[in-house]
């Protein structure tokens, strides 16, 4: 009998390892072995069946993924609040199950958040006894270390997991009110390089709610001063301290370890004058003064509000004690406590600098004046001294310092109106904010910061005329803006007409003031969406994925969107999921696209079901366009067209604008252009003529998109043979500055010129308009599809095959390229699949390459090989 050699697994057998950010939960029942001995085998088996039902039901309710339950439970959750929800249900369920059986039943639970690597085992390995699913990564042993530390019935969480869970505690409903959140201090764990904060969450009566004991695998980090050798040394020092009493009279003032770019928290103003006009106004002036510094990072009002919510103390006055606690929790290095008091005829403004670690005032600066008009100059003087005390050179203070009366307004009432308007804006009360800013400029027509806030409100509303009017007012008084505000104004102004300058000014703002997250986000946003420079996003956004950033979820989501546009779908998905863990809500369209680009359609639909409407018809309509892209990506052209019909009807019912509905029409026409029906030409002309009318009266904020639409109409006309009409449309926009400034328009114009050349049999001219190494940048994804057809027409099938391969391999670019906001994503998706067909046709007949590409196309578009769209493309090849 022949003996076969053991089969050596090839690289094709290796499981696909997927990195992801997850909440890892590990728990086990206390003294489970003793429990079996006590109950006996039969009763223990029945009990374990009830236990498994309890555990699996809780897992399902909390959307967990069970990995293993051999020695306890190992599970993954998308968010820490889900892991905590499961742990609470499980602990209560065990408590009730134990009572029913007549004994105490408790579990230890550990929850940590971190990156894990997951893979599915091969079915033959599962059949041999392996688990279907494997999980590895540092997060797993950290969670395990937490349960070795935990007391019976105790749920221990790492600092990151607790922070994220407490933010979302409201999702637990009425149970949230019964919970206790305790911090037990910093612990070290065997095998974990750095110490970590350990928190407990639990219900009184079930959870122990006391610090866990140290053990061989986890021990509390004892402060140096409490260690035995140090205690002995302290006793010896008592004698020496007695002799130091006299010296203490002459000791120097305490200092604070403050370094460049450290964070400060500003407490609420202590107003002891009885004058209400100082409330809010001086808080704002102090913030404006500190924000001028390139040395100090200042917690914004929004950051403070978010931190208070995490501390479950929202809306409480930020007095000395609470500000110190907040600073200690959030890692700020100093607290500044402002006070204004009136003694006799003198008004004194004081600034105390407090070390949050000790709660001690390390120094205080003050300045006196007479009358209301002296308050801002006094605050200015005290603030300059404080900046110097924190270590900033006086040369730097002088270089960027604009006097507060000039940077804001000498009119205290106007400053108070501005402050109240800013608060209303944070609360989403745009109407109230606008009325208050108008009052501020009425009281002081030269109040440039108030004019600038009015311009921002108009920009958000899409009111170009109002935006330009208020920006002009701010420009007229630009000498009354701080350098930070001036850079932001110049960037905002340029977004209307000159995107490259907008990005340049916003990037300068981000480099000079790293804590200005609005500048960094906007620089990344316009670089990505307007200039197609997605590679710049990670650089601009470096350092924004930090707790101090109040818009951290949006920042991570922005970075993820750029990764998708660059073609790295797995990296994008990991970042998208992280942003969701951090609390990202609303549209998840880009995450849906990322899964679709990897043909993970089930995951894409799952994410789609988790989107939430934002209440803006255009945005809600945009977030649903996956309803057309998913069927199209699977070869269902009819399903895609039907979905667009539904979207338009829903958009009309929701009150979407003609501008938003025009995008849906463009998507539908772009699909019909691949196999035009008898009515296509008439429908195309009707849509284009309506867009031309809208373009003629469009403002700068919409003009760039109208240009792209007209260029898309020109391409469709040329593609179906209407060359003269295509040339006419191209001429309408060719000389518009926004055609040249915006890369997606400039590239689409070259695509139209190439398509016209192809229609006229001038393939070399078409290639000349589009030539270049695919993937080198400068052109939109769709331009490579037209280039491939031009190369085929010119007889260069080898180079055409290379371009087709690039199109098929870069599906993430097809889905993630920002031109999808202009309605051209469906054409990209179609080309990413038709490229597989082209690879099969362009390869050597009968070759392995041809067979592989044919199989890939058949798998991607099952049953679509005989469609009119595919047949027309085949004819072109």
> In the predicted model, what is the mean pLDDT of residues 135-155?
90
Was domain 263-405 assigned CATH 3.40.50.10610?
yes
Of 838, 731, 863, which is closest to residue 786 (Cα–Cα)? 838
Looking at per-residue pLDDT, the higher value among 605 and 584 belongs to 605
CB-CB neighbours of 745 under 10 Å: 24
Asked whether the beta carbons of 577 and 595 are under 8 A apart, the reply is no
> In the predicted model, what is the mean pLDDT of residues 407-434?
85
* CATH class for the region spanning 585-876: mainly alpha
Give the helix ranges, DSSP H, for 62-129.
Answer: 80-101, 123-127
% of the chain with per-residue pLDDT over 90: 37
What is residue 560's predicted lDDT score, i.e. its pLDDT? 94
Asked whether the beta carbons of 569 and 597 are under 8 A apart, the reply is yes
What is residue 254's predicted lDDT score, i.e. its pLDDT? 47
Cα–Cα distance, 702 to 403 (Å, whole number): 39
What is residue 4's predicted lDDT score, i.e. its pLDDT? 35
Looking at per-residue pLDDT, the higher value among 616 and 827 belongs to 827
What is residue 557's predicted lDDT score, i.e. its pLDDT? 92
> In the predicted model, what is the mean pLDDT of residues 821-841?
90
With cut-offs at 50, 70 and 90, classify the pLDDT of residue 223: low
CB neighbours of 111 closer than 8 A, spacing ≥ 6?
23, 24, 25, 80, 83, 84, 87, 143, 146, 155, 156, 157, 158, 161, 165
- The pTM score is 0.64
CB-CB neighbours of 287 under 10 Å: 17
Residue 8 has pLDDT above 80, yes or no: no
With cut-offs at 50, 70 and 90, classify the pLDDT of residue 674: very high
**DSSP-derived secondary structure letter, 11:** G
What is residue 120's predicted lDDT score, i.e. its pLDDT? 82
Residue 75 has pLDDT above 90, yes or no: yes
Looking at per-residue pLDDT, the higher value among 236 and 635 belongs to 635
Looking at per-residue pLDDT, the higher value among 122 and 262 belongs to 262
With cut-offs at 50, 70 and 90, classify the pLDDT of residue 240: very low
Residue pLDDT, tens place only, 284-299? 888 888 888 888 888 8
Residue pLDDT, tens place only, 796-823? 999 999 999 999 999 999 999 987 566 8
What fold is seen in the domain 13-222?
Alpha-Beta Plaits (3.30.70)
CB neighbours of 74 closer than 8 A, spacing ≥ 6?
24, 25, 26, 66, 67, 68, 135, 140
**Every domain of the chain and the residues it spans:** 13-222, 263-405, 585-876
What is residue 782's predicted lDDT score, i.e. its pLDDT? 95
What is residue 160's predicted lDDT score, i.e. its pLDDT? 82
> In the predicted model, what is the mean pLDDT of residues 242-262?
55
> In the predicted model, what is the mean pLDDT of residues 424-429?
76
């Amino acid at each position: 009998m022949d003996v076969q050699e053991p089969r050596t697994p090839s690289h094709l057998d290796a499981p696909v390892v997927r990195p992801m950010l997850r909440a890892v939960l590990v728990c086990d029942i206390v003294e489970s072995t003793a429990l079996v001995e006590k109950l006996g085998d039969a009763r223990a088996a029945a009990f374990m069946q009830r236990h498994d039902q309890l555990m699996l039901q809780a897992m399902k309710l909390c959307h967990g993924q069970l990995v293993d339950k051999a020695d306890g439970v190992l599970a993954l959750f998308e968010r820490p609040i889900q892991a905590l929800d499961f742990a609470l249900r499980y602990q209560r369920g065990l408590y009730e199950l134990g009572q029913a059986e007549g004994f105490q039943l408790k579990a230890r639970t550990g929850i940590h958040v971190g990156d894990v690597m997951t893979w599915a085992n091969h079915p033959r390995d599962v059949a041999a006894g392996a688990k279907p699913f494997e999980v590895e990564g540092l997060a797993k042993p950290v969670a395990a270390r937490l349960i070795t530390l935990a007391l019976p019935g105790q749920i221990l969480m790492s600092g990151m997991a607790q922070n994220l869970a407490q933010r979302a505690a409201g999702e637990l409903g009425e149970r949230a009110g019964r919970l206790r959140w305790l911090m037990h201090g910093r612990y070290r764990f065997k095998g974990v390089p750095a110490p970590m904060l350990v928190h407990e969450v639990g219900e009184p009566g079930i959870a122990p709610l006391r610090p866990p004991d140290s053990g061989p695998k986890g021990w509390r980090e004892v402060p140096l001063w409490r260690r035995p050798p140090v205690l002995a040394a302290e006793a010896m020092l008592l004698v020496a301290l007695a002799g130091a009493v006299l010296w203490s009279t002459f000791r120097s003032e305490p200092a604070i370890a403050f370094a460049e770019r450290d964070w400060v928290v500003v407490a609420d103003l202590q107003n002891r004058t009885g004058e209400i006009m100082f409330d809010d106004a001086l808080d704002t002036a102090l913030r404006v003064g500190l924000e001028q510094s390139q040395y100090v990072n200042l917690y914004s009002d929004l950051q403070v509000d978010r931190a208070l919510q995490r501390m479950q103390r929202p809306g409480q006055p930020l007095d000395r004690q609470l500000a110190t606690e907040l600073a200690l929790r959030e890692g700020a290095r100093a607290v500044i406590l402002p006070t204004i008091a009136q003694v006799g005829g003198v008004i004194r403004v004081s600034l105390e600098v407090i070390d949050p670690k000790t709660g001690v005032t390390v120094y205080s600066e003050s300045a006196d004046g007479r009358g209301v008009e002296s308050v801002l100059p006094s605050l200015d003087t005290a603030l300059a001294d404080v900046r110097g005390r924190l270590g900033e050179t006086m040369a730097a203070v002088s270089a960027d310092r604009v006097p507060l009366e000039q940077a804001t307004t000498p009119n205290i009432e106007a400053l108070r109106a501005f402050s109240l308007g800013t608060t209303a804006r944070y609360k989403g009360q745009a109407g109230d904010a606008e009325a208050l800013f108008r009052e501020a400029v009425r009281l002081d027509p030269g109040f440039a910061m108030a004019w600038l806030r009015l311009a921002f409100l108009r920009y958000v509303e899409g009111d170009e005329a109002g935006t330009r009017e208020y920006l002009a007012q701010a420009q007229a008084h630009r000498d009354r803006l701080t350098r930070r505000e001036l850079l932001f104004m110049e960037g905002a102004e340029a977004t209307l007409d000159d995107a490259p300058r907008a990005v340049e000014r916003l990037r300068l703002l981000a480099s000079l003031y790293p804590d200005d997250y609005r500048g960094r986000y906007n620089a990344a946003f316009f670089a990505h969406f307007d200039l197609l420079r997605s590679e710049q996003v990670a650089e601009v956004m470096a350092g924004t994925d930090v707790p101090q950033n109040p818009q951290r979820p949006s920042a991570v989501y922005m970075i993820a969107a750029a990764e998708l546009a660059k073609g790295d779908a797995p990296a994008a998905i990991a970042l998208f999921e992280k942003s969701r863990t951090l609390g990202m809500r609303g549209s998840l369209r880009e995450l849906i696209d990322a899964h679709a680009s990897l043909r993970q359609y089930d995951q894409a639909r799952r994410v789609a079901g988790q989107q939430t409407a934002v209440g803006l018809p255009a945005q809600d309509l945009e977030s649903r366009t996956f309803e057309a892209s998913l069927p199209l990506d699977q070869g269902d052209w009819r399903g895609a067209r039907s979905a667009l019909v539904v979207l338009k009807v829903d958009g009309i019912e929701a009150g979407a604008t003609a501008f938003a509905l025009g995008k849906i029409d463009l998507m539908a026409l772009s699909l019909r252009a691949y196999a035009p029906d008898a009515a296509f030409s008439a429908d195309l002309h009707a849509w284009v003529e309506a867009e031309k009318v809208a373009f003629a009266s469009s403002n700068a904020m919409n003009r760039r998109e109208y240009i792209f639409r007209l260029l898309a109409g020109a391409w469709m006309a040329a593609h179906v043979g209407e060359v003269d009409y295509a040339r006419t449309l191209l001429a309408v926009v060719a000389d518009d500055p926004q055609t040249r400034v915006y890369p997606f328009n400039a590239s689409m114009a070259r695509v139209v010129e190439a398509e016209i050349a192809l229609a006229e049999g001038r393939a070399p001219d078409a290639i000349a308009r589009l030539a270049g190494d695919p993937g080198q940048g400068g052109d939109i994804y769709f331009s490579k599809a037209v280039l491939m057809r031009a190369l085929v027409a010119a007889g260069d099938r080898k180079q055409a095959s290379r371009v087709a391969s690039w199109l098929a391999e870069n599906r993430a670019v097809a889905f993630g390229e920002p031109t999808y906001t202009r309605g051209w994503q469906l054409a990209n998706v179609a080309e990413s699949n038709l490229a597989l067909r082209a690879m099969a046709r362009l390869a050597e007949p009968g070759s392995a390459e041809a067979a592989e590409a044919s199989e890939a196309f058949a798998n991607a578009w099952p049953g679509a090989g005989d469609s009119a769209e595919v047949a027309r493309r085949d004819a072109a090849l």
